[in-house]
Amino acid sequence: MSLSDDYNITMYEEKDTRRPRYALYALIIIVILLLILILFLYLIRSPLIFRSGASSSTVSVPTAQPGSVPSLSLDNSYVFASPLRAKVGGEQIRVTVFILNDRGLGMAGKTVSVGGGDTLQVTSIQPITDSQGRATFDIASNSAPGVYIIQASVDSVNLTQKATITFD
């Protein structure tokens, strides 16, 4: 037996001792990753984590305490226009007004009015708010291009927010 034979035997023995270690490390990593995946899936399906009150059927709306009635909030209410730009002479812009109380909930039965000046035609689609506090209007301009600020009011009080629309 020569020195080179001893070296080859030594190299062969080192390779044999390393292979089981790498296999063990790989197995440990795979088990850890599987445990992390199982934990992640459990957390997603858990009812206590990632719960959305909007989509849950068991969420109840808080009732008002005796003597405390939710009041109209001009700061929570808002005006939404879509699209923001339309052509003069036929295209309309849909304006939706949301009337919300101080808790951020919609107020039903409120009469909303929208003003856009003398040059705009405002068509009331639903001027009285529904259960979500939504009132809807269509606005058109037959002859006057320009940029207009749309002001909404409820119970003769102007909302804080306004919408800016453009007719070309």
| 69, part of any domain | no
| pLDDT(56) > 50 | no
| 33, part of any domain | yes
Q: How many domains does the chain have?
A: 2
Q: How far apart are CA 59 and CA 122, in angstroms?
A: 38
Band of residue 94 on the pLDDT scale cut at 50, 70, 90: very high
| pLDDT(3) > 80 | no
- Give the whole-number percent of the chain exceeding pLDDT 70: 73
Residue numbers of the domain that contains 27: 1-53
Phi, psi of 115 (to 5 degrees): -115, 140
Q: Are residues 162 and 97 in the same domain?
A: yes
Phi, psi of 105 (to 5 degrees): -100, 145
| pLDDT(36) > 90 | yes
Q: Are residues 100 and 163 in the same domain?
A: yes
- The end-to-end CA distance of the chain, in Å, is 97
Q: Tell me the per-residue pLDDT of 102-152, one tens digit each, with 9 for 90 and over.
A: 888 888 898 998 876 778 888 889 999 998 989 999 988 888 888 888 888
CA distances for 24 relative to 2, 7, 33, 109, 160, angstroms: 34, 26, 14, 69, 66
Please give the residue that has the higher pLDDT: either 120 or 46. 120
| pLDDT(22) > 50 | yes
Residue 89, Ramachandran bin (φ over 0: left; ψ between -120 and 50: alpha; else beta): left
| 60, part of any domain | no
SS3 category, 73: coil
Q: What mean pLDDT comes out for the span 17-31?
A: 83
| 91, part of any domain | yes
CA distances for 83 relative to 80, 146, 164, angstroms: 9, 15, 11
| pLDDT(166) > 60 | yes
| 157, part of any domain | yes
Q: How far apart are CA 72 and CA 80, in angstroms?
A: 18
Residue 95's CATH number: 2.60.40.10
**Average pLDDT of the chain to the nearest whole number:** 78
